[in-house]
A and B are shown apart, each in its own frame.
Chain A
Amino acid sequence: MRLAKYLFKRLIIVFITLFILVSIVFLMFRVIPGDPVSMFIDSGLDAESQQLMMKLYGLDKPIPEQYIIYMKNLFRGDLGNSFTYGKSVVEVISERFLNTLVLTLTSLMIAFTLGIKTGSFLAWHRNSKIDLVGTILALIVRCAPVFWTGMILLSIFAFKLEWLPLGGMTSVGQNFTGFWDKILSLDFLKHLILPAITSALYSMATPTLLMRTSMLEVIKEDYIELAYAKGIPEKKVRRRHAMRTALLPVVTIFAVQAGLAIGGSVLVETVFRWPGMGREIVLAVSSRDYPMAQGAFLFIGFATIVFNLIADVLYAYLDPRVSLG
């Protein structure tokens, strides 16, 4: 009952947040200079054609009217048609989103599995040389620009050694029957390795350092002493007793990172030619494809909020000391 009430309250807040987000994004794109038509004047759109195109996009109407139309459609679940692709925005987003999802899920999985393990390992060996080197390494990787890491990996593994492909999701010239057919192929896996590792390296530092700090706190607790006193072996104390408790804050950060990752990584996707959300957002913004950009931002905002909500609820279940309300 309490959970239902809590969820209801949170959902109202989510709704208001999204409404504000949509309104700001809508206005933002109409305020920044530029429009989706005049950038193509040089490729052969005369004055009359430009007007026809603006009318076609509904941009000849005053902004308040455009806003009302957009909102009306939004409530019906219609995000409009992309100016660039002539397809519904929902369709374009779902295509790109799947591509992004495969990449980000893989890289987050790698990052958090390795990060949690490394973090707890470093904490266990606190103040040793391994701890120092490990922490510094984590910080260096975190600070290295992801496109740089990507290009270094590319030049070694794809360019020099020729073990892995230069980019893309699959080798050129393969026609697949569907999404699953594509991502279950060995060829796809080869293409996934470098971009997944690149973004995993980048996002690994957060869980590593967080896990380390969290573990350091937990280790001081009395029940760890008690566990030792009961004669439980060190490995088991670390795994069963310390790590489980220390995982709590990492769960939260996972949810937050997963929410953000939905938006895809512009840089990783550009360097590795990955046809995901990040690249699409950049294209949409630079070509002033308003419906597309608005839809994408709304989608990311929605995902971030939902994942945060999930994290909060999950937290309450994992830690009985936290109560909802």
Chain B
Amino acid sequence: MKSYRQILVLLLVAMMLLSSVGCTQFVASTEEPASGDEAVTNQLDPADQVPAIEFWIQTQAADPIRYEAGLMVAESWKELGFEVDAQTREWASMSAEGMKAHEHDAFMVKWGGKPERVDPYHWLYSMHHSSAADEGGYNIAGYINPVYDALAEEFATNLDLEARQSAAMEMQELLARDVPQPPMFKLELKNAYNQAKFTNVTPGVGLGVYSFWNFMNITPKTDDKILNLGQVNDINLLNPLATKTGQDIYMLKNIYDPLVRLDVKGEAVLWLATELNEIDDTTIEITIRDDVKFHDGEPLTVEDVKFTFDFAKEVNSPTYKGHVKSIESVEITGENTVTFKLFEPYAPFISNTLSQCLILPKHIWSKAYEEKGAEGVLTWDNLPAIGSGPFVFDYWRPNEEFALKTNKEYFQKPKIDAIIRTPYAQAIGLVQGLVAGEVELTSANMLPLDLEAVAKNPDIAIVELPDEGSYIIHYNMRTAPFDDVYARRALTMAIPRQKIIDVVLDGGGLSTFSLISETNEFWFNPDVEQLDFNLDAARKELENAGYRWDDKGRLYYPENFQVTPIMPE
């Protein structure tokens, strides 16, 4: 009995203590505005406070760069007076809610600088034209600007290169000014290979040593002509019509051939095609090689070419859809010629459509179609994958080993005999494999710590090349505060680009202000406005627009605030 009473007394005392603390806090907070001598503070209506930003960043395990950089950006935004709630999210949920549903405030993505993006149709048209602002569209920021749209349409449909170029320049200027989704920085890509065993490593734009040209050119120095490629992930699906990941698509390009290929700089070169003849704006006549055979011995003919494009349309291939939708018809117009008719002029037809659509063997796919139907051929593993390319599918034990051997009858022979690809499941294992000599080549980007580790093996050399893609923050212009251009400009000026490069990337990166890489000389506009890190300028931007701060440094909207979505002319 006695002990119960003691506990009760103790509880009471504790409660009194707690409540008194609470009271003093309460008293203090009510007193504060009264004691504050700045008149402004009193007049700031809490309803005017700029709403908090939910900033999604990747988990540290998934991408240490985006995680660290995200935290640094969030800190800097807070200094400006924004309330920022930095949340780590798994990529699957970030992509569904942000990339697809566009329900984000802001999040960070690394967009890959693939070779088919050297023609900046993706960056300039897809990512910023108002038609792509709906759910699932690439215009994730929701940038809507009629002036821009007009330029984008000119850029997409005018086949005159100079007209396209000048539109692209103007578009970059508008984007740099309105900053719907600012690029921040890009990496110096560092790929590792074993220089004691291989030479002639040929990295290609956007893909590094995973490029087709590297697999064609890399030359063994010893009698061991098998290239051991180490990657973190395995390939998933070798069905050209239904595959989703870049790792699969670029591996398929070794097995299958497109009509044209994009070279190490991303420029179109003839491949299966021997001649391109632009008859008019919407008609292109193509002559193909007559000496190519599929891996099962059947010759590759114009029948296969016509079939591929018709078939992809007929079965509604998700992978080909974006590329073939501009095509009205494909007709065989000669022994080795086909003629493409387009619905309307489509400038990136050669660099995007022809380079991305791999030619399928008609005899195999029409048979598969008879057996499985349209859905069946899209949910088919297509093993063994039979193409016409320089490498032949050998075997694949998923999550263990994948092997290609060289096509001895190909018109241009690779120098190696085979590629064996091993998925390491984790980057640290891959680096160990490199040091131990198990891996002879990897396109995994070497981070500062990895470089230290591989330095232990003197045979490991590093090739560097600038990435063509950038780390981008996708603002959402559909929500406050990102609907206002001045807020966006100020937030952009608060991104500590150089600090991130120095601290997180150990100097291995470059600040970017246009989505087009400066190495992409023809399209890049070097004269765009550069909203680089400058907190004073950022404050000035907000101040000029009428934004206010309270004495705690919190940011408030101007009086009688009117949203300005894009910079007035």
**Residues on A facing B (Cβ under 8 Å):** 32-35, 37-53, 56, 81, 84-87, 92, 95-96, 154, 158-159, 166-170, 172-173, 175, 269-271, 273, 275-276, 279-280, 283, 286-288
Q: Can you name 27 A-B residue pairings with CB atoms under 8 Å?
A: A33-B92, A35-B96, A38-B100, A38-B136, A39-B95, A41-B95, A42-B99, A43-B112, A43-B244, A46-B138, A48-B321, A49-B318, A49-B322, A51-B136, A56-B318, A84-B237, A85-B381, A85-B398, A158-B436, A167-B433, A168-B401, A173-B228, A173-B420, A175-B394, A270-B426, A273-B400, A273-B422
B236 close to A52 (CB less than 8 A): no
A276 to B425: give the CA distance in the assembly, Å. 12
Instruction: Provide the residues of chain B in CB contact with A271, threshold 8 Å.
Output: 426, 429
Instruction: Provide the residues of chain A in CB contact with B429, threshold 8 Å.
Output: 166-167, 271, 273
Which of B71-79, B196-204, B372-380 contacts its partner? B372-380
Instruction: Provide the residues of chain B in CB contact with A33, threshold 8 Å.
Output: 92-93, 96-97
B136 close to A166 (CB less than 8 A): no
Beyond A34-B95, A172-B401, A275-B397, 8 additional contacts (C-beta under 8 Å) are A33-B96, A38-B99, A41-B136, A84-B236, A172-B422, A175-B395, A175-B403, A287-B92
Q: Nearest CB to that of B247 among chain A residues?
A: A43
A166 close to B433 (CB less than 8 A): yes
A43 close to B246 (CB less than 8 A): yes
Q: Which of B109, B239, B321 contacts A86 (CB 8 A)?
A: B239
Q: Nearest CB to that of B101 among chain A residues?
A: A38
Q: Which of A39, A42, A52, A167 contacts B321 (CB 8 A)?
A: A52
- Given A173-B403, A273-B425, CB of A46 within 8 Å of CB of B112: no
Q: Nearest CB to that of A41 among chain B residues?
A: B99
Instruction: Provide the residues of chain B in CB contact with A173, threshold 8 Å.
Output: 226, 228, 401, 403, 418, 420
Contact with A along B310-329 (1 / 0, CB 8 A): 00000011110110010000
A170 to B399: give the CA distance in the assembly, Å. 12
A172 close to B112 (CB less than 8 A): no
Please tell me if B67 contacts chain A, counting CB pairs below 8 Å.
Answer: no
Please tell me if B137 contacts chain A, counting CB pairs below 8 Å.
Answer: yes
A188 to B238: give the CA distance in the assembly, Å. 27
Contact with A along B65-92 (1 / 0, CB 8 A): 0000000000000000000000000111
Q: Which of B322, B381, B426, B432 contacts A48 (CB 8 A)?
A: B322
- Given A81-B379, A85-B237, CB of A50 within 8 Å of CB of B100: yes
Please tell me if B501 contacts chain A, counting CB pairs below 8 Å.
Answer: no
Contact with A along B397-420 (1 / 0, CB 8 A): 111110100000000000000101
- Given A47-B135, A84-B237, CB of A52 within 8 Å of CB of B316: yes
- Closest-CB distance, A4 to chain B (whole angstroms): 42
A33 to B318: give the CA distance in the assembly, Å. 22
B112 close to A86 (CB less than 8 A): no
A35 to B239: give the CA distance in the assembly, Å. 20
Instruction: Tell which of A32, A50, A288 has the most Cβ of chain B within 10 Å.
Output: A50
Provide the main secondary structure of the chain B interface: mixed
Instruction: Provide the residues of chain A in CB contact with B111, threshold 8 Å.
Output: 42
Instruction: Provide the residues of chain A in CB contact with B193, threshold 8 Å.
Output: none
A40 to B236: give the CA distance in the assembly, Å. 13
A47 close to B236 (CB less than 8 A): no
Contact with A along B356-378 (1 / 0, CB 8 A): 00000000000000000001001
Please tell me if B134 contacts chain A, counting CB pairs below 8 Å.
Answer: yes
A167 to B423: give the CA distance in the assembly, Å. 11
B236 close to A85 (CB less than 8 A): yes
A288 close to B92 (CB less than 8 A): yes
Please tell me if B126 contacts chain A, counting CB pairs below 8 Å.
Answer: yes
- Given A166-B432, A279-B399, CB of A56 within 8 Å of CB of B378: yes
A50 close to B109 (CB less than 8 A): no
Q: Nearest CB to that of A80 among chain B residues?
A: B379
Closest 9 CB pairs of A and B: A34-B92, A275-B399, A47-B136, A33-B93, A38-B100, A40-B244, A86-B381, A49-B318, A275-B400
Please tell me if B382 contacts chain A, counting CB pairs below 8 Å.
Answer: yes
Q: Which of A32, A52, A92 contacts B93 (CB 8 A)?
A: A32
B436 close to A38 (CB less than 8 A): no
B244 close to A53 (CB less than 8 A): yes
B400 close to A168 (CB less than 8 A): yes
Q: Nearest CB to that of B439 among chain A residues?
A: A172
Please tell me if B123 contacts chain A, counting CB pairs below 8 Å.
Answer: no
Please tell me if B534 contacts chain A, counting CB pairs below 8 Å.
Answer: no
Instruction: Tell which of B122, B242, B399 has the most Cβ of chain A within 10 Å.
Output: B399
Please tell me if B188 contacts chain A, counting CB pairs below 8 Å.
Answer: no
Instruction: Tell which of B239, B381, B403, B424 has the most Cβ of chain A within 10 Å.
Output: B381
A269 to B398: give the CA distance in the assembly, Å. 13
A271 to B429: give the CA distance in the assembly, Å. 7
A158 to B389: give the CA distance in the assembly, Å. 38
Instruction: Provide the residues of chain A in CB contact with B95, threshold 8 Å.
Output: 34, 38-39, 41-42
Instruction: Provide the residues of chain B in CB contact with A34, threshold 8 Å.
Output: 90, 92-93, 95-96
Please tell me if B132 contacts chain A, counting CB pairs below 8 Å.
Answer: yes
Q: Which of A96, A276, A286 contacts B92 (CB 8 A)?
A: A286
